[in-house]
Amino acid sequence: MEPSPDGPLPSPRFGALRASARSSVRAIGEAVRRAGPERDAALLMGKAALATVLAWQFAVRVLHSPAPFYAPMAALLVVDRTMVRSLWASAQRLVAVIVGMSAAWLVGATLGVHWWSMLPVMALALLVGRWRRLGDHGIQVPTMVLLSLITVGGTDMEFTYLTIVQTLAGGVIGVLTNAVVVAPLHIQQPRDQIRALTRQVCQLLNDIAAGLRDGWDGEMARGWYDTSTDLLRAAPDIHAAIETGVESTRFNPRENLRRVTVDWAGYAETVEAIRRGQWQVSGIARTLVDAADDEASQPTPTQRFLESYAGALDEIAGALSHFGLDGDDEQAVVRDYLRSAEEILTELEHVVRTTELEDERSWPAYGAMLLDAHRLIRELELHSDTAVMPTDSGPIRKPPKRIVGR
């Protein structure tokens, strides 16, 4: 590489570091400006650091440990996104340490430390460490066995006792720090994600409708199909965020003080309705992709049909803009929009059945588009009574009384 007239060119490693620094600065700025994932991550890191220092000082000043390592390590590892996960992680780590230290003590006291005695106990420790209930902390079982056998031959009861006490103390400090210092309560993120998903689906339906009226081509149809596929991929992440939100309210002192009532089941119904509806939107876009592909030999429906069909899509988008909002009036608006869309599609079906097609090979395209639109309407109708759409302001809708087995 020849040097630049203005000086040497920066190395790729420098460029990567600079990009990483910019990304970090942006994340910090987001965390300062508004609540969201960046602020949650920053708060979690801060609490983990605080818990680590507190546990270290406890091990030094209270337990008078000559090796104050296990308490801060336990505290660091149990500060998690929810109180449930913190409590579970603390229990997992404590069990792993107790099992590991007990196995080392048993082998050291009965057989001594030899290569032939370490082989079976390490194999057993590795096997126990893979127990799924221990999670990521399972690695502590063979680690503690090896550490105890090598350092004190597994027979030093004081070392074993102090290690277990440090682990317990660190876990307790980590859990308490997570609970006292702004206990994690993940309510806003899933609400924002659900609203964003709904807006994007409405926008996609309006874009398809506008394209069908004003002129479209294969590239536009492919873009609609790709967008619809991306929206489908977002649904599992939103479901996961809802599950995290539900989990974050358990054993959470902030939730007990704030007493926010959230219809998590209604949120899940909304996401599921939109996800199932997106299958049909993807089908509509795929039919248009094939119709625009010369090699697919799929004739395009008439412009008159497409313009009327666009009206049905606009009505469905209108229903989605009110979907899940609280109140009988809002549900009535959704039903009116869907009824209007159904009427347009029924009229189109009548026209297709009673009018001679310009190209007899085009009937699969008509049938596919009409069927997908009917299915989309049906999915929204099925979930309209139980879906809940988070609003930007105002009180959160209370959960309705649900019939068991519904």
Q: Tell me the per-residue pLDDT of 356-403, one tens digit each, with 9 for 90 and over.
A: 766 666 678 888 999 999 999 999 999 998 999 987 544 344 444 443
End position of a domain, from candidates 131, 158, 180: 180
Q: Each residue of 108-163: pLDDT tens digit?
A: 888 888 888 888 888 988 998 888 888 888 888 898 888 888 776 767 788 888 88
Q: Kindly state whether residue 227 falls inside one of the protein's structural domains.
A: yes
Domain count for the chain, please give it: 2
What is the number of alpha carbons within 13 Å of residue 258 lying toward its C-beta?
17
Task: Please choose, from the candidates 313, 336, 310, the residue with its C-alpha nearest in 3D space to the C-alpha of residue 323.
Answer: 336
Same domain, 44 and 150: yes
Mean pLDDT across the chain, nearest whole number? Answer: 84
Do 218 and 176 belong to one domain?
no
Segment 95-103 shows an average pLDDT of 89
Q: % helix / strand / coil in the chain, to the nearest 5?
A: 75, 0, 25
Tell me the pLDDT tens digit for each residue of 54-86: 999 999 999 999 889 889 989 998 998 888 888
Asked if 383 contacts 273 with a C-beta cutoff of 8 angstroms, the reply is yes
Residue 259 confidence (pLDDT): 57
**338 and 242 belong to one structural domain:** yes
Alpha helix (H) ranges present in 130-156? 140-152
199 found inside a domain: yes
Cβ atoms of 4 and 11 within 8 Å: the answer is no
Verify that 234 and 145 share a domain, yes or no. Answer: no
238 and 294 within one domain: yes
Note the pLDDT of residue 168.
92
Mean pLDDT of 198-225: 94
pLDDT for 137? 86
Q: Which residue intervals of 264-327 are DSSP H helices?
A: 264-292, 303-322
Res 118: pLDDT: 85
Lowest mean pLDDT among 22-36, 148-162, 195-209, 272-286: 22-36
Q: Are residues 106 and 249 in the same domain?
A: no
Output the domain CATH number for residue 344. Answer: 1.20.58
- Whether pLDDT at 17 is above 80: no
Q: Is 99 in the same domain as 234?
A: no
Residue 222 lies in a domain: yes
Q: Measure Cα distances from 320 to 199, 234, 284, 352, 359 in Å.
A: 8, 17, 17, 27, 34
Residue 337: per-residue pLDDT: 97
Instruction: Pick the more confident residue, 280 or 393.
Output: 280
Q: What is the pLDDT of residue 396?
A: 43
What's the domain range around 365?
188-383
* Residue 12 domain flag: no
pLDDT of 8 strictly over 60? no
193 and 173 co-located in one domain: no
**Which pLDDT score, from 0 to 100, does residue 56 have?**
95
pLDDT band at 253 (very low <50, low <70, confident <90, very high): confident
> In this structure, is residue 371 part of a structural domain?
yes
Say how far apart CA 320 and CA 148 lie, in whole Å. Answer: 62
- 338 and 198 in a single domain? The answer is yes
Same domain, 227 and 125: no
On whether residue 10 sits in a domain, the answer given is no
> Of 125, 158, 180, which one is at a domain's C-terminal end?
180
The predicted-structure confidence for 27-45, as pLDDT tens digits, reads as follows: 455 544 455 578 788 888 9
Domain boundary among 141, 157, 180: 180
User: What was the pLDDT predicted at 49?
Assistant: 95
Do 232 and 199 share a structural domain? yes
Residue 389 lies in a domain: no
With respect to residue 345, please indicate whether it lies within any of the assigned structural domains. yes
**Same domain, yes or no, for 232 and 355?**
yes
